[in-house]
Structure 1
């Protein structure tokens, strides 16, 4: 799930008109992609013995061919070429690359070092951090429910900090890096698939250079075994394919449905961490999760009330 997409600006059906409701294909696609993100730790665990930076580099490199196939099939190569010729867009995309690379790298490291529970907590915090960021940077007005939800999330972080004696870096780095990534994506005037391909192109240069350096110095693992090679190539598929599926699912669902379904992935990550990886769930973390889950319920109810109020005013 380290490649969480930003929420779409609007949901549309194939004729280009806004979707008035949810569709069964959309629900199936969204459920599939959130389950993929929820089960991603199981895949990353297979290569947990490899250095996280090397896994990150291969994840970037091998996501590019999969994204390229989709761009070619959709006839969106013109969008990517146009973006490359615009320095401001390239600069914004490069900033996006920094934050999404941090997000992916922290997530890979967390799974490899038995901090998957912290990663799940981070992705639960993510929507709350995003609305706080929107209020601070974009001056969006918050409802009382949203303010309360953010306050509870802050209390959860403080509990972990006080009880453990240090900031919960993984649980904070994931929402902060992705929140800033999402904010910057709003400033880049390019579609989701083309934008992801542009970012992959920018990141692929440093990633390829790092991989070549590792293999040249004998520190790389790609050529060590067929298993490693296949799993590292698979990281690209595990990154690009869910994002492309999500792009199609978002067109067939209401924003409120996407907003609710986004909790499927961190819930599954949490269950994988506790039930399969057997990571300990100490009382401070359990208390933090309780506060975050309460905050998300308040946030979700507030979101529904706001949307219902807007519909009534509009009607």
Structure 2
């Protein structure tokens, strides 16, 4: 099987797990959001650290946490990802999966805007149009509902900031996320021990709930591993396009499985976002094609 095909299948697997994960969190709706977040953090560390140990790469954590600057960078990434995780869990539990879907649709455009502001990156005309349409979608939803879609915006901004920080990390994705949950796990474990001591913890109350909580580590680690493997085999334009499968499946869960209502304002906002993403993706593919053509031309030219 060609490497490109393998990468596409791996990416589809990762996005399918992410996109259908609201079903899992609905099964744990009886567990308070903060307690569920603590379990996800702790069991993720167990899975990620176990994987690095099997691969003989635990020593790589020193690269992620070896200096004060590295600890601060990793700590900021950890803060962004734990905020994102908590808000996602909380949103599923209060019946706002529709908003999480919107947030992850907006995320690529927020990430582009962060690149312009922080990294001074330049955008093509179509990319600016896409960003403007996303802003119009948020404005439409805000005026229509009487309040901004804070869940969607916070998810998009925290994940965008997380991606921006990750670009500056020298270590790989699995090592860096292991370092992040390593920093968060003492707090998570402390909170879980406090709950258990007070008799309020749900872990151990019944086998089903305890097994599902442990499984949160696998649910977090597996798509990350698949995504990391896919990123090595698929070009960035294809990778970016396939990522839309995640919010699309979340949208399916919200509307079809959970029966969350869609107002005309939501339909208008989602429509604008989908048009924006189509323009953004088209521009990305055009740039990627031009870049590859340029590389092939330079390779084909004989040396002077």
Pairwise same-fold verdict (TM > 0.5): yes
Alignment partner of 1:117 is 2:98: yes
Structure 1 position 102 matched with structure 2 position 83: yes
- What residue in structure 1 maps to residue 276 of structure 2? 295
Give, in angstroms, the shift of residue 187 of structure 1: 2.2
Question: Equivalent of 1:196, from 171, 177, 181?
Answer: 177
SS of 1:23 mapped into structure 2? helix
Match of 1:87 in 2: 68
CA distance in 2, matches of 1:144, 1:33: 31
**Pairing partner for 1:50 from 27, 31, 34:** 31
- Matches of 1:22 and 1:253, distance apart in 2: 8
Cα gap change, 1:304 to 1:22, in 2 (>3 Å)? farther
Higher percent of residues as helix: 2
Aligned length: 295
Q: Distance in 2 between matches of 1:278 and 1:38?
A: 16
- Measured against aligned partners, the alpha-carbon deviations of 1:135-173 in whole angstroms (never above 9, x if no partner) come to 011000011011000000001101111111111111101
Is 1:117–1:269's contact at 8 Å kept on the other side of the alignment? yes
Residue 22 of structure 1: how far off its partner (Å): 5.0
| Contact 2:64-2:74 within 8 A present in 1 as well | no
| Structure 2 spans left out of the alignment, 5+ residues | 298-304
| Contact 1:60/1:236, CA 8 A, preserved across alignment | yes
TM-score between the two structures when normalised by the length of structure 2: 0.94
1:8 is matched with none
Distance 1:187 1:284, change over 3 A: same
The question of whether the paired residues in 2 share the 8 Å contact of 1:22 and 1:254 is answered with no
Once superposed, what is the RMSD of the aligned Cα atoms? Answer: 1.2
Pair 1:77 & 2:49 matched: no
Task: Work out whether residues 43 and 214 of structure 2, in 8 Å CA contact, stay in contact via their aligned partners in 1.
Answer: yes
**Map 1:203-214 → 2, pairs under 5 A:** 203-214=184-195
Q: TM-score, normalised by structure 1?
A: 0.91
Deviates more, 1:158-167 or 1:80-89: 80-89
